């Protein structure tokens, strides 16, 4: 990683720069605090650091998914000692600019892909279809999907009740709801969509995971469970796989998903820090010297 990508503060030897003297607060947050200033404006180094992060986020949005590379990366994985059956499909959005302006097209399989999937349709329902979609960050898919899937398949292999998988579909120019279309074509009882999330400035490679029970075209998001911020600096692929396997098991047992299915795999993390431990509120700071 180059020097520019680190969380390093502006160089102290930059000329005409007022340095903020609270940079130790960066231990508490990844927010861009203590940047310093030139007059009241951003120091040059910080301005360029921001521009670089924005450029990376834009590149992540416009990067196309390299299906061949991804298939190569996923073909080393096995499930129940068998290699994965992987198919490549396309939404109705034919290119990126259309995809960005027409969310409706990204939710549907192209006619050719729908026809292709019918050839793989199972007569009796299969347990789950796993779908990989580029979404808004192909970068996230390339980085997070291989380790996530590896961890998820390992967990599914150990499940008490075996999971029967539909072919794994890699969808180009896909939105979350394309999974519903794919699951209908493949006759799957559940769909798990792994999709590149809208890239943030500090997180261009974050994956989202959406689980839907009994998926049908036209379902809205209230029917889905979501695991977001899957990346090495956020929810690690391994932890995400743990949570996903938990949700899959519960969705199958209760035959529901969405708001009705609560994620209790980890209790919601609320900060139980006593207020006196907040640095601005410790007794000494607010003028009460009883400490």
Partner 1 sequence: MAGYRYQLGQRTYRFKDLAGVMAKASPLRSGDQLAGVAATTAEERVVAQMVLADLPLTTFLNETVIPYEQDDITRLILDTHDRDAFEPVAGLTVGELRNWLLLESTDAVVLQDVSPGLTPEMVAAVSKIMRNQDLILVARKCEVITAFRNTIGIPGHFSTRLQPNHPTDDLNGIAASIFDGLMYGSGDAVIGINPATDNVAQTINLLHMLDELIASYNIPTQSCVLTHVTNTIEAIERGAPVDLVFQSIGGTQKTNESFGVSLAMLQEAREAALSLKRGTVGHNVMYFETGQGSALSANGHHGVDQQTCEARAYGLARVLDPLLVNTVVGFIGPEYLFDGKQIIRAGLEDHFCGKLLGLPMGCDVCYTNHAEADQNDMDNLLTLLASAHCQFIMGIPGADDIMLNYQTTSFHDALYVRQLFGAKPAPEFDAWLEEQKIFTRSGNSLLTDELSQRFAAMLPGGNANV
**Binding-site ranges for partner 1 (CB under 8 A):** 9, 18, 20-35, 37, 39-42, 46, 50-51, 53-54, 57-58, 60-61, 100-104, 136, 197-204, 206, 229, 234, 268-271, 273, 275, 277-282, 284-286
The span from the CA of 154 to the CA of 149, in Å, is 8
Is residue 211 a contact partner of residue 257, using CB atoms and an 8 Å limit?
Answer: yes
Torsion of CA 172, 199, 250, 183, to 10 degrees: -10
Q: Do the Cβ atoms of 267 and 185 come closer than 8 Å? A: no
Q: Minimum Å distance from CB 91 to partner 1?
A: 14
271: phi then psi, degrees, rounded to nearest 5:
-75, 110
User: Residue 174 Cβ, how far from partner 1 at the closest point, in Å?
Assistant: 14
Q: Compute the Cα dihedral for 95, 99, 101, 106 and give only its sign.
A: positive
Distance between terminal CA atoms of the chain?
43
Write out the two tokens for 263.
């994620």
| Least distance from partner 1 to the Cβ atom of residue 113, Å | 22
Q: Which is nearer to partner 1, 80 or 286 (CB)?
A: 286
* Residue 191 · residue 128 · CB < 8 Å: yes
Give least dist CB 74 to partner 1, A. Answer: 26
Residues 84 and 168 sit within 8 Å (Cβ to Cβ): yes
The string over 224-237, giving b where at least 16 C-beta atoms fall within 10 Å of a residue's C-beta and e elsewhere, is bbebeebbeebbbb
Cβ proximity to partner 1, 108 vs 203, nearer residue = 203
How far apart are CB 200 and partner 1 at their closest, in Å?
Answer: 3
Q: Kindly tell me which of 75 and 282 has the beta carbon lying closer to partner 1.
A: 282
- Of 150 and 229, CB closest to partner 1: 229
Shortest spacing between CB 96 and partner 1, in angstroms: 10
Q: Which helix (H) or strand (E) holds 55?
A: helix 44-62
Nearer CB in complex with partner 1: 116/229: 229
CA dist 133 and 102 (Å) reads: 16
Closest CA to 139 of 227, 74, 204, 235: 204
Measured from the CB atom, the residue of 167 and 237 that comes closer to partner 1 is: 237
21 or 158: CB nearest partner 1 = 21
Q: In the complex, what is the shortest distance from the CB of residue 237 to partner 1, in angstroms, rounded to a whole number?
A: 17
1/280 with CB nearer partner 1: 280
Nearest distance in Å: CB 142, partner 1: 17
Helix, strand or coil for residue 189?
coil
């Amino acid at each position: 990683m180059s020097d520019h990508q680190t969380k390093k503060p502006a160089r102290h030897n930059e000329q005409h720069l007022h340095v903020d003297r609270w940079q130790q607060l960066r231990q508490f947050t990844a927010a861009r605090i203590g940047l310093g200033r030139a007059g009241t404006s951003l120091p040059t180094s910080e301005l360029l650091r921001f521009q670089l992060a924005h450029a990376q986020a834009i590149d992540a949005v416009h990067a196309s998914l390299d299906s061949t590379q991804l298939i190569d990366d996923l073909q080393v994985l096995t499930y129940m000692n068998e290699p994965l059956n992987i198919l490549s499909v396309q939404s109705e959005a034919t290119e990126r600019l259309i995809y960005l302006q027409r969310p409706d097209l990204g939710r549907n399989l192209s006619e050719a892909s729908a026809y292709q999937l019918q050839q793989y349709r199972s007569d009796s329902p299969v347990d789950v279809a796993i779908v990989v979609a580029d979404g808004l960050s192909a970068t996230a898919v390339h980085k997070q999907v291989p380790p996530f899937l590896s961890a998820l398949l390992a967990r599914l292999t150990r499940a008490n009740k075996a999971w029967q998988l539909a072919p794994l579909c890699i969808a180009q120019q896909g939105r979350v709801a394309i999974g519903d279309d794919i699951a209908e074509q493949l006759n799957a009882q559940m769909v798990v969509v792994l999709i590149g999330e809208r890239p943030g400035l500090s997180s261009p490679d974050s994956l989202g995971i959406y689980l839907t029970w009994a998926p049908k075209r036209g379902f809205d998001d209230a029917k889905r469970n979501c695991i977001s911020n899957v990346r090495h600096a956020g929810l690690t692929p391994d932890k995400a796989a743990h949570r996903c396997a938990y949700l899959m098991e519960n969705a199958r047992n209760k035959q529901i998903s969405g708001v009705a299915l609560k994620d209790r795999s980890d209790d919601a993390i609320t900060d139980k820090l006593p207020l006196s431990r907040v640095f601005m509120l410790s007794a000494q700071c607010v003028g009460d010297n009883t400490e």
